[in-house]
Amino acid sequence: MMTFSDDLFYALLAALGGVSGTAGYLLGLRRFANRSRGELQAARDALAEARLAREAAEHDLQQARDAAARDLQQAKASAERTLQDAQRASDKLADAKTAAERALKDAQAAASKPTTLRSPTVTHTVLLDGVSNSGKSTLVHRLAFPCTEAESLRKITATQLAYRTRLLPICFVPPVGPGRETTEEPVLHAQVLRDIAGEKPYEIINILKQLSTERELPSERERHGSAIVVLVWDMADTAGSRSRITRERLQLAYHNDYARQLIKQFVIFFNKLDLLTVPPERVQQLVEDERAHLASITDFLGNDVVRTYLQGSALRGDGVIECQGAIYTALGLAPHFRDLEKDKDGNKDGNKP
């Protein structure tokens, strides 16, 4: 028979067993919770890595797409440029073909036309000599291009190299035109103006040698005529002209075999009279003084060379017509211009009532 103490003992024992079971259960739950927490963190870490991997994959995919799009755009642009180049080449080829066909037609048309010979030409040479800044270039432009404005002439600088104009026609001999019938073939007389660089007078000898050589070359339709010297004398700086255009310098240039053969006319143009600030009678006296000086330093030319003295201003145009007339007279062409004037006067008189 159990006593109260036994019941109490068993009751305590049962209570202790329940407490021990509860403690074990709680300990198990704690261990389970710790393990679950570790697994959850591992799962979160794995998920974060998976997310990073996905983002990296998407980034790489986007870069691949962009690169592919760029390559496609570049390939497209290159293809378009190639196509345009091919189109331009095709257009050029077509233009070249058209030009060749046109040239062939022109050549055939020219070949079918009767051949007409150009009139025989006699080319005369006018050498403009003088010191630098004496006005040679201005006179050349006045003679070759009469319509040149004074403002343009003022901008002309000193010639550093020998300058020559193109071939400038003068007239036909015998003259041609309405009412003029002749059995002779008309010959075209033309002139070339050559501006000698003032600081390089040795060029004169080279030019004369060249003209002499060309004159001896056989030619049926073209030949070289006379050579004339126009010496431009700077009246605004006579001291400079005298110091640089000396007797020795003139003899070196014009007292040689080439010059004696070619040059038979010497035109001396006293230039820049408009710059002299002296009375008119004094101007003429200065001109006479310089004329006497030039006569003394050119007396070596002898009587075979005709000297003509003119004066004026190339910039203003004073004396330029007279200078051109002296050149035509020296070439022997002035009578043909006088004949034209007579014809004009005769036509005017014939038209009068």
What pLDDT is recorded for position 344? 52
Report how far residue 139's alpha carbon sits from residue 128's, in angstroms, rounded to the nearest whole number.
Answer: 9
Stretch 68-86: mean pLDDT, rounded? 89
Alpha carbon distances (Å) from 159 to 68, 133, 200, 323 = 67, 8, 10, 21
Q: Answer whether residue 107 shows pLDDT above 80.
A: no
Q: Answer whether residue 352 shows pLDDT above 80.
A: no
Nearest CA-CA partner of 154 in 313, 280, 324: 313
Q: Where is mean pLDDT largest: 18-22, 41-45, 175-179, 307-311?
A: 307-311
Stretch 20-33: mean pLDDT, rounded? 81
Q: Answer whether residue 275 shows pLDDT above 70.
A: yes
**SS3 per-residue string spanning the chain:** CCCHHHHHHHHHHHHHHHHHHHHHHHHHHHHHHHHHHHHHHHHHHHHHHHHHHHHHHHHHHHHHHHHHHHHHHHHHHHHHHHHHHHHHHHHHHHHHHHHHHHHHHHHHHHHHCCCCCCCCEEEEEEEEECCCCCCHHHHHHHHHCCCCCHHHHHCCCCCCCCEECCCEEEEEECCCECCECCCCCCEEEEEEEEECCCCCCCHHHHHHHHHHHHHHCCCCCEEEEEEEEEEEEEHHHHHHHHHHCCHHHHHHHHCCHHHHHHEEEEEEEEECHHHCCCCHHHHHHHHHHHHHHHHHHCHHHCCCCEEEEEECECCCCECHHHHHHHHHHHCCCHHHHHHHHHHHHHHHHHHCC
Q: Answer whether residue 68 shows pLDDT above 60.
A: yes
How many CB atoms within 10 Å of residue 229? Answer: 27
Q: How much is the pTM? A: 0.61
Report how far residue 142's alpha carbon sits from residue 324's, in angstroms, rounded to the nearest whole number.
Answer: 10
What pLDDT is recorded for position 325? 92
Q: Answer whether residue 233 shows pLDDT above 50.
A: yes
Which amino acid, one-letter code, is at 281?
E
Largest CA distance in the chain: 190
Minimum mean pLDDT among 42-46, 95-99, 108-112, 167-171: which range? 108-112
Report how far residue 214's alpha carbon sits from residue 124's, in angstroms, rounded to the nearest whole number.
Answer: 12
Q: Answer whether residue 300 shows pLDDT above 50.
A: yes
Report how far residue 134's alpha carbon sits from residue 233's, in angstroms, rounded to the nearest whole number.
Answer: 6
More confident of the two residues 68 and 105: 68
Minimum mean pLDDT among 14-18, 44-48, 107-111, 341-345: which range? 341-345
More confident of the two residues 64 and 24: 64
Report how far residue 287's alpha carbon sits from residue 303's, in angstroms, rounded to the nearest whole number.
Answer: 22
Nearest CA-CA partner of 267 in 132, 145, 130, 122: 130
What pLDDT is recorded for position 111? 66
Whether the Cβ atoms of residue 212 and residue 226 lie closer than 8 Å to each other: no
Stretch 34-61: mean pLDDT, rounded? 88
How many CB atoms within 10 Å of residue 255? Answer: 15
Q: Output the six-digit token pair for 62.
A: 């986007």
Which amino acid, one-letter code, is at 97?
K
Mean of per-residue pLDDT scores for the chain = 83
CATH number of 121-178+187-351: 3.40.50.300
Residue 269 burial by CB count (10 A; 0-12/13-18/19+): exposed, middle or buried? buried
Terminal Cα distance for the chain, rounded = 190
